[in-house]
Structure formats: C-alpha cells, structure tokens
Chain A
Amino acid sequence: MDTHRHLDDELNELRDRVLLLGGETEQALKGAMRALEERDTEVARQVLDNDDRIDLLEVEIDRQCIDIIALRQPAARDLRFVISVAKMAPVLERIADHACNIARTAIDLNNEPQMKPVPDLGRMASHALTMLHAALDAFTSSDAIAAREVITSDSEINNLYNHIFHRLIELMVSEPETATRDARLLFVAKHLERIGDYVTDICELTVYMAEAAFIKHYHQRANL
C-alpha cells in the first residue's frame, strides 16, 4: 500500500506543478496584454524575464513524467493522467511563448506613437484568458464536460480573429502610414488565435484523461 500511496503523492505533486505552470502561463498572458493595452514596457519586460521560470517548470514536469513512467509504470487512469500532463506541459509553455511574443510587440509599439485601439483585440484576449482559466479548471477537476464546452468556445476566438484581420487590413489600406503598427497588431491577434487552439489541445487532453476518448481531430470533434 505504501508504494501506491507514494505514487499518489507523486501524481499529486505532478498535478500541483502543472497547475503552477498553468498559473504562470495565465499571468504571462495577462501581463503581455496589460503591457500592450496600457503601454507598460516594464510589465512586458517582467513577462519576458519570467519565461525562463516557465521553461524550467516544463522541463521539470517532463522529467517527472518520465520518472513516473519508468519507475512506477502507471496504468489506466494514472497512465492517462501522466500522458496527458506530459503532453500538456509543452502546450502551456508554448502559450507562454506566444505571451512573450505579444510582450515583445508591446515593447516595439510602446516606442512608437499611440494608435487608435482595436476594440475586439481586448475582447479576444479576454476570451483567450477565460478559455485558458476554464481549461485549467476542467483539468483540475477532470471534468470532460467542461473541457468540451471550452473547445466549443474556441469558435468565438476564430470569429474575432477574422473580424480583426479584415479590420486591420482595411486600416492598412486606408492609413498606410500606420501599416507597420497594424501589422504588429495583426500578429498579436494571430498569437491570440493560436493560444485558443492550444487551449483546445489542453481540453482534448483533459477529455482523454477523464474518459479515455480521443477527440483530437475535427471530424471527431463534430460529435463532441
């Protein structure tokens, strides 16, 4: 029994570490968007500085998953949990990388004159953050229903992206003098759209963890 208690402890520790990584990723995205919206270069630099810590957490989780698989040989729900975590950690790290890219864009834009805000960009960021938060909650509670709801809500991000894309293209044509800055904002929108996709990946892993169901590809997702 002690062996199994030991495994439980290790799995709990792994879960805590993923949630820590998730929390850091959320903070990175929040910080990056704040830096962009409030033209706060200092906050952008904090996001970039903290990225090493996120990278380190990912490596630690990776190592811990390998150790558990090699030494404890988990099966069934334990195996699904460890596999899901091993796949989820790099996804969270990539979300943080997108946050860093947004932070870098914020620093670049802060060196230039302020532009008119693109209202939907804030909405898009807010939606991405809500999705990420809900995805981490679904993972914590192993709630496949909640995870599926988050996946469904990704379409909202995609709609916003399409809207922003067209809006910024129009601006580039009508006000070519700000085209460079518009292009940068277009990249921000693209980062947020990718973050929505990554959050979807996290939710798919949660569904696998909870139900052993693979819903990875679009045709399977149609029957969520």
Chain B
Amino acid sequence: MRVQTATPRIEVPERARDNGSTSKGTEAKVSVRNLNFYYGRNQALHNISVDIPERMVMAFIGPSGCGKSTFLRTLNRMNDVIPHTRVDGQVMIDNHDIYTPGTDVVELRRRVGMVFQKSNPFPKSVFDNVAYGLRINRITKNSSELAQRVEEALQDAALWTEVKDRLKSSALSLSGGQQQRLCIARALAIRPEVLLMDEPASALDPIATSKIEELIFDLKKQYTIVIVTHNMQQAARVSDRTAFFLLGKLIEVNATEKMFTAPDEKLTEDYITGRFG
C-alpha cells in the first residue's frame, strides 16, 4: 500500500543518476521519480529515478540483494501483494502514475506483463496456457479469434513451429526452455506494452538461453522490455541500456556499450570487472 506521508528523504549520492536517460530521441515509456520502497522498517530502494525508453531493452544488474528485482516488481505493483511493504515516489507509465489511488491493478498488469526466473506454466495444455489471460479478460469474441491470438502469441515467442502439432499436450511436457517461452507467449497473448523479465534464462542451458535472448531482440520492436539478470554478458548482449544497482541505490544508468567499456562510476567499474569489495 502506498504511504503518502513524508518519509525521511535519503540523499542519493551525486553519482546515482541516469546518464543520458533516454537516447536517440526515444520517448520514455516508464519514468520513475524518487522511488523509495520499504519491507517493514527496512528500506530496500533509495530514491530511485530513471527513465525506461520505449521499445528498447533495459537491463538491471547488481549483486544479490541490491534491490533490482524489488524495483522491477514496483513497475507493475507486484510488491503490493507482499505484506508490510510500502512505497513512495512516482512510477509514470505514459505519464500516468501507476500508484495513483484508484488505479486498476489488473489492467496495469495486463499492460505490464511479467516473466519470472522459474517457468511457471499452468498444469493445462499448451493452448490453454496461452489462452488463459485472453479468456479471463474476455479479450476475444469467439473461438477462432482466440485460436488466432494464441497462434500469434506462440509465433511471437518463437515457439509456434515447435508446438503447433501438440497444442493439446500438457505444457508440463515441454522442455525447460520451451516452458519459459510458453510463459512469454502467455504474457504476450494479452498484448502488454511493457514486459518485465526477472532472470528469465537463469535456469536454462546455453541453447535455450540463446533462444530467449534472440526472442528478446525480436520483441523489442514491439515492446518495452526490462530484464533483471545476474549474467552480465547477457545484459551486454540483449540490452540497449543498463542500470547498475547497489545496496538499494541506483548507481549508474548508461548505454550498454558505454557501461561495459567505459562506465562513468568507479563502483560500476569495480562490479563489472569482478573487483567488487
């Protein structure tokens, strides 16, 4: 739940800024301003401000416990379901603050889809998994439109050719990589505008990982993608911009090529060269 009362402002160091926010004139799809997040008395995020450009991939990197997944979940209010948490600051999507009282959270999560670290298909058929969101949101008018949307989602998730002949098979019979792409198809079926991915390939082998990365590359033509990853090479491969978090603070945001060749901040440099601590 959101607390509007004044909370002690954490002075973010001068370095904790977005270097060049959006690039190449791209509009920010998501603009976060002065975001603080608390688990009970423990402040997990300190005064985060960042712009996430439209139709680009932004990667969040940082050591375990730095707050990157917590921050990701603030972008579609997934933290709301965790007891004793509170947030202040603004998360603007298309210039609308998603924490404004009265915001339809179900609609928000339709617009801002999420894919988790561990694939979590429902114990249903491949088809029914992808159709699930379409059905409960009553998005399609008839079965042929439903089938059309399921096929489109599976094609967008680069899974269609592998499952088109087994749509009625259990989703649990798919390989780990296929299950993760199925979850991406499920998220894409309801046509979100932003896709949040929390370590989507961390449990996959290199071939499955490569497919997910290629998929991310293709999806950014249509979607704004935010990915949390522990794998810095993955961040370097898939993202246009990278944000480095440390101890709940945003240390640096930069173009990915700059981040991995010449970061502005020493803390970033120490982290990505493995000399942290």
A interface list, Cβ under 8 A from B: 3-4, 7, 73-80, 211-212
Contacts and interface: CB of A to CB of B under 8 A. Distances in A.
Contact of B260 (A3, A4, A7, A76): A76
A69 to B, nearest CB: 12
A75 B275 contact: no
Given A80-B262, A212-B261, A73 B273 contact: no
Interface in B98-130: none
B66 interface: no
Interface string B257-272: 0001111000011001
Given A4-B275, A76-B268, A77-B269, 11 more contacts: A3-B274, A74-B273, A75-B232, A75-B272, A75-B273, A76-B261, A76-B263, A76-B272, A78-B273, A80-B261, A212-B262
18 contacts: A3-B274, A4-B275, A74-B273, A75-B232, A75-B260, A76-B261, A76-B262, A76-B263, A76-B269, A76-B272, A77-B273, A78-B273, A79-B260, A80-B261, A80-B262, A211-B262, A212-B261, A212-B262
A31 to B, nearest CB: 38
B27 to A, nearest CB: 28
Interface residues of B, number: 13
B233 A79 contact: no
Contacts of A73: 233
Nearest to A3: B274
A138 B272 CA distance: 25
Contacts, number: 31
Q: Closest 7 interchain pairs by CB?
A: A212-B262, A4-B274, A75-B272, A76-B269, A75-B260, A78-B273, A76-B273
Contacts of B233: 73
Interface string B237-277: 00000000000000000000000111100001100111100
A73 B237 CA distance: 12
Contacts of A7: 274
Contacts of A79: 260-261
A78 B271 CA distance: 12
A185 B202 CA distance: 65
A78 B275 CA distance: 11
Interface string B36-73: 00000000000000000000000000000000000000
Interface in B172-211: none
Contacts of A76: 260-263, 268-269, 272-273
Contacts of A4: 273-275
B206 to A, nearest CB: 14
B274 to A, nearest CB: 4
A147 B205 CA distance: 45
B258 to A, nearest CB: 8
Contacts of A75: 232, 236, 260-261, 272-273
A12 B244 CA distance: 28
A212 B260 CA distance: 11
Which has the most chain B C-beta neighbours within 10 Å: A73, A75, A77, A212? A75
Which has the most chain B C-beta neighbours within 10 Å: A4, A76, A211, A212? A76
A87 to B, nearest CB: 14
Contacts of B275: 4
Contacts of B261: 75-76, 79-80, 212
A120 B94 CA distance: 70
A74 B232 CA distance: 11
Nearest to B275: A4
A9 to B, nearest CB: 13
